[in-house]
């Protein structure tokens, strides 16, 4: 487990982006798992900058974690629309390389099956980007979620619906109650996990996910079962970690972290 603690949210977003951008610069056909949410906006702005500096995204394939049931891709509150606004329309990825569960599929079970098959067919996900909910969810795997859950339909908690109500004009009644989410089992199959969290409102969820017992009521704690999870935090999100000094010492001596800092220095400043 690599836990990397940066001073500010901006630095954490830049560091997280650098992990994916350096992968793309080495492997133009990389397969990425993507997330939505406020934390990711800063991360994707670095993707757009990299594209403007000449990085080629045209062979990248992406799989998004989740989508609300009942919303079409054109709906401004859909995660498809979010991805289009923050990333896809600003880079050179062909539409056929984008895979996001369709919230208004005629047959949701077929949609779910096809989503899982598309990941398998692509050869699996190289890096899965993750945010974390205040309640410890990843994707829309709400507490409690089976640690080996597949992609499925879930009921959203009221806390999550409140957290996301901003995209619905602040009107909780308009936030869908159900969603499709990539399951924890599918997330854990990605070759690398990259969890990003910023702000003191994430501090409890991060401490529980990284250092607490692995349990269904903290779905993000499933990352402890993964062989190569990276957790990128700002100081505020890291404040409740018991082993904070250890993580800092470990990151300070890590060649992989040094390589990322070098990449940032060379290509992102």
Residue 226 main-chain phi, psi, to 5 deg: -90, 145
Active site annotation includes 29? no
Least gap, CB of 197 to ligand F6R (angstroms): 8
Find the residue with minimal CB distance to ligand F6R.
131
Q: Which is nearer to ligand F6R, 79 or 80 (CB)?
A: 79
Active site annotation includes 269? no
Q: Which is nearer to ligand F6R, 55 or 71 (CB)?
A: 71
Least gap, CB of 4 to ligand F6R (angstroms): 17
Helix (H, G, I), strand (E, B) or coil at 154: strand
Cα-Cα-Cα-Cα torsion 168, 49, 63, 169, nearest 10 degrees, comes to: 0
DSSP letter, residue 197: E
Cα end-to-end distance, the chain, whole Å: 27
| Residues of this chain that bind ligand F6R (CB under 6 A) | 35-39, 65-66, 79, 131-133, 137-139
Active site annotation includes 97? no
Catalytic residue among 46, 51, 81, 137: 137
Q: Which is nearer to ligand F6R, 93 or 209 (CB)?
A: 209
Concatenating the DSSP letter of every residue in 204-260 gives HHHHHHHHS--BTTBGGGGGGGSSSEEEEEETTTTTT-TTHHHHHHHHHT-HHHHHH
Catalytic residue among 67, 126, 142, 236: 142
Question: Tokens 């994430």 — which residue?
Answer: 202
Least gap, CB of 191 to ligand F6R (angstroms): 19
Contact predicate 128/185, CB 8 Å: no
Active site annotation includes 86? no
Q: Which is nearer to ligand F6R, 55 or 68 (CB)?
A: 68
Catalytic residues: 66, 135, 137, 142
């Amino acid at each position: 487990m690599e836990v990397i603690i940066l001073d500010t949210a901006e630095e954490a977003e830049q560091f997280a982006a650098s992990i994916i951008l350096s992968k793309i610069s080495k492997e133009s056909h990389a397969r990425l798992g993507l997330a939505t949410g406020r934390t990711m906006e800063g991360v994707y702005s670095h993707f757009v900058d990299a594209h403007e500096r000449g990085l080629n995204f045209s062979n990248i394939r992406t799989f998004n974690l989740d989508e609300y049931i009942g919303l079409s891709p054109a709906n401004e509150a859909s995660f498809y629309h979010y991805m289009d606004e923050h990333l896809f329309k600003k880079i050179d990825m062909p539409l056929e390389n984008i895979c996001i569960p369709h919230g208004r599929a005629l047959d949701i079970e077929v949609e779910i099956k096809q989503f899982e098959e598309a990941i398998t067919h692509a050869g699996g996900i190289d890096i899965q980007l993750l945010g974390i909910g205040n309640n410890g969810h990843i994707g829309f795997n709400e507490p409690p979620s089976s640690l080996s859950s597949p992609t499925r339909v879930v009921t959203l908690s009221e806390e999550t619906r409140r957290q996301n109500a901003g995209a619905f004009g602040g009107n909780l009644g308009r936030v869908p109650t159900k969603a499709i989410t990539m399951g924890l089992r599918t997330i854990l199959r990605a070759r690398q996990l990259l969890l990003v969290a910023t702000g003191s409102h994430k501090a409890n969820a991060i401490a529980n996910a990284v250092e607490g017992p692995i349990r269904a009521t903290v779905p993000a704690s499933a990352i402890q079962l993964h062989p190569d999870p990276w957790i990128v935090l700002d100081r505020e999100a890291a404040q409740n970690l018991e082993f904070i000094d250890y993580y800092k010492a470990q990151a300070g001596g890590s060649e992989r972290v040094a390589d990322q800092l070098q990449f940032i220095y060379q290509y992102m400043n």
